[in-house]
Amino acid sequence: MSGERPERFYGAGDPSEPEAGPTPGFDPMATRDDPRQVDPGPVSSNRASSNPDTPGAAAPMAPAVSTYGRGAKRARPLFAKKPKLSGGPDAPDAPGDGGGPGAAPGAKPRRRRRWVRITTLTVLVLLLALIGTMLGTWFWASGKVTHAGAITDYSGRPVQGGGTNWLIVGSDSRSNLTPAQRDQYHVGSDQGLNTDTMLLLHYGASGPDLISIPRDSYVTIPAYTDANGKSHSAYKAKINSAYSAGGVPLLIETVETATGVRIDHYAEIGFLGVVNVVNSVGGVNLCLASPVKDSHSGANLPAGCQTLNGTQSLALIRTRYSLANSDISRMANQQKFVVGLSHATLRPGVLLNPFTFYPVTGAMLDSIAVDNGTGLWDLLNMSWHSRSLGGGKGTVGTVPIANEGYQVSGLGSTVLWDKAKAAQVFGAVNQDAAIPSGLLNSLG
């Protein structure tokens, strides 16, 4: 009709007018998921004409991509940022952190790297502590080594042979014992200074060899000058008298002259030292073929295998008057004791336990004296090489004897060596070779 305004309906505009699309930048479906999408509200029905000639009319709008219907793309605002997630065990790892889908191939997790650092630091601290403990123990033990006397050179001294040779001596000095201890250990009050025990220990490519030298061996005492400056010519006597006449240097020279073996190291232990060392290791296990009972030494031991304490051990190695062969039988017991003490000292329970290692080491170092040229390393080396004594390796015995009761005017009964066999024994020692069987007197 003329003059009538054409009727308009929402959604049914002029066909010539482009269809209005959704508001730019707004996705009605995305508002449910993305809080940053803001709903602009309902669109007014009184829209301005799209005709550009109409005054105040807005510019034509480009058709928007429909977000409705199946397969339609979901619009996303430009420059929209992914929301940040707070850190925590459930947060995904950033690329390169060693975890999550963005991690580089083969990368280790942070937690694993942290544990590697902690483990490495712990190992280094423990290693430094171990080194410090070892160094401290070494200096502590070295400071406890006691030196007595010296090994001196002299004209005609035997040349250096193969291997290493020790002269181990048991002194009968009572000077460091109280009256009560003298009674307890049945050592009497004799003020003389002699050697109750003499052992030659050899080790090297052969051995170890432990050779007892009878204290009453009839040998030549070399010429010497005593402490008062008086000169003495060489003379024949029992070998143990060299110790009281000229001290350690004369004793060593006497042994070297009699055997032809050059002594490299010297060690001496007294009565009290034997008691303290044995008690510190918890006793020595020995097996006796027959009972040992002696009023002079105080020994009262049954036959069979048993563990001896310090007092019992001292009584055993001093017993001679009640034994069938006196000093010869006593040397057999002394050798058993040395072997037993070596085994007791080198037990893992002693060496690996600091509560036993330090008391045992301290007692041993307090109880022995060595020559001036001997240090802690030499003592450790000797202990290591002698560990196999009595275990079927090496040789244990006494110097070949021709006469156990050789009578000498003014000296009484002495021990006379078999010179030919003794020369073979000590010749093998000098050459660091195995001692031929049958030469040494077996005392076991």
- β-bridge pairing 292-294 and 224-225: unpaired
**pLDDT reported for residue 362:** 86
Looking at per-residue pLDDT, the higher value among 358 and 425 belongs to 425
368 CB-near residues (< 8 Å, 6+ apart): 146, 267, 268, 269, 273
> d(Cα 350, Cα 356) in Å, to the nearest integer?
5
Q: Please say if the pLDDT value at position 11 is more than 50.
A: no
Q: Please say if the pLDDT value at position 59 is more than 50.
A: no
Q: Please say if the pLDDT value at position 230 is more than 60.
A: yes
**pLDDT reported for residue 45:** 43
Lowest mean pLDDT among 57-61, 235-239, 255-259: 57-61
Highest average pLDDT, of 83-92, 100-109, 316-325, comes from 316-325
- Which pTM value belongs to this model? 0.68
Looking at per-residue pLDDT, the higher value among 178 and 164 belongs to 164
- Mean pLDDT of the chain, nearest integer: 78
Q: Please say if the pLDDT value at position 9 is more than 70.
A: no
Helices 241-259 and 419-430 cross at an angle (nearest 10°) of 80
Residue 52: pLDDT band with limits 50, 70, 90: very low
> d(Cα 265, Cα 200) in Å, to the nearest integer?
10
- β-bridge pairing 209-212 and 395-398: parallel
| Closest alpha carbon to 193 in 179, 208, 176 | 176
**pLDDT reported for residue 432:** 95
Buried-exposed string 1-32: b where 16+ CB fall within 10 A, e elsewhere? eeeeeeeeeeeeeeeeeeeeebeeebbeebee
The encoded tokens of residue 173 equal 């000095």
Residue 66: pLDDT band with limits 50, 70, 90: very low
**pLDDT reported for residue 55:** 47
Q: Please say if the pLDDT value at position 422 is more than 90.
A: yes
Q: Please say if the pLDDT value at position 335 is more than 60.
A: yes
**pLDDT reported for residue 10:** 45
**Average of per-residue pLDDT across 18-42:** 51
Helix locations, 324-407, DSSP H: 327-345, 348-351, 354-367, 376-385
Q: What is the pLDDT of residues 117-158, one digit of tens each?
A: 888 889 888 888 888 887 887 787 777 888 877 788 999 999
φ, ψ (nearest 5 deg) of residue 235: -155, 165
Looking at per-residue pLDDT, the higher value among 97 and 163 belongs to 163
Task: Say which residue the tokens 């803001």 belong to.
Answer: 38
Q: Please say if the pLDDT value at position 349 is more than 80.
A: yes
331 CB-near residues (< 8 Å, 6+ apart): 197, 212, 214, 398, 443
Lowest mean pLDDT among 180-194, 221-235, 379-393: 180-194
**pLDDT reported for residue 291:** 92
Bridge partners, 413 (sequence order): 407
Highest average pLDDT, of 40-49, 299-308, 347-356, comes from 299-308
**pLDDT reported for residue 1:** 46
**pLDDT reported for residue 292:** 92
**pLDDT reported for residue 213:** 94
**Average of per-residue pLDDT across 250-257:** 95
